[in-house]
């Protein structure tokens, strides 16, 4: 797959900031290239930019986008759209077809999803047909989509790197990060 972008629909600044940040962190850690946010929230952009500077990779967040425009543009450029929803069909039934897509936009809702999304999406996919967390759904989706290969991804250009240890913690990199 060439590019994976997450489109976060809705974001109530006072209520959803932490959850949206977790969607972005999960997307970044599990192989997405960026996230588009339909609300204007520069603090989420800044937080994720800071994480990317510290830990590496090229993940981006762009806020204040119009979802309809972004979806149409994505599809005009030949990309496909997958909407994660508990009302969709089971991931296992379509994951192979989704995997064959070169450029994929994954839609993750926050507030009530407009009905039009269900018709604009190439796939409406459920992880489970029960209420659940959009962060969990995204994580499971990204893992199944990439067959676990995202767990081997190296994040280049970062200032910090975790050294895996059976016991204890070790982080290589700059000692004082307060200057960031």
Domain ranges of the chain: 3-173
pLDDT at 75: 98
pLDDT in tens, 28-43: 999 999 999 998 888 8
pTM attached to this predicted model: 0.91
pLDDT at 110: 81
- What count of Cα atoms within 13 Å lies in the side-chain half-sphere of residue 11? 29
Determine the average pLDDT of the residues in 21-34: 96
The CATH fold assigned to 3-173 is Alpha/beta knot (3.40.1280)
Q: How confident is the model at residue 15 (pLDDT cuts 50, 70, 90)?
A: low
CA 115: distance to chain centroid? Answer: 21
Determine the 3-state secondary structure of 95 from DSSP.
helix
pLDDT in tens, 61-119: 999 999 999 999 999 999 999 999 999 999 999 999 999 999 999 999 887 899 999 99
Q: What is the mean pLDDT of the chain?
A: 91
- Cβ contact 129:89 at 8 Å: no
């Amino acid at each position: 797959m060439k590019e994976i972008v997450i489109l976060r629909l809705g974001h109530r600044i006072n209520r959803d900031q932490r959850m949206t940040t977790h969607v972005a962190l999960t997307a970044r850690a599990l192989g997405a290239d960026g996230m588009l946010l339909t609300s204007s929230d520069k603090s989420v952009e800044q937080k994720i930019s800071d994480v990317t500077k510290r830990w590496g990779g090229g993940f981006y967040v762009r806020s204040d986008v119009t979802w309809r425009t972004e979806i149409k543009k994505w599809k005009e450029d030949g990309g496909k759209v997958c909407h994660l929803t508990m009302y969709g069909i089971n991931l296992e039934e379509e994951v192979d077809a989704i995997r064959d897509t070169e450029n994929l936009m994954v839609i993750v809702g926050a507030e009530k999803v407009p009905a039009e999304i269900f018709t604009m999406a190439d796939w409406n996919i459920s992880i489970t047909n029960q209420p659940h967390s959009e962060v969990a759904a995204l994580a499971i989706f990204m893992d199944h989509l990439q067959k676990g290969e995202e767990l081997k991804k190296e994040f280049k250009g970062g200032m910090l790197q975790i050294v895996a240890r059976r016991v204890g913690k070790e982080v290589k990199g700059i000692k004082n990060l307060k200057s960031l």
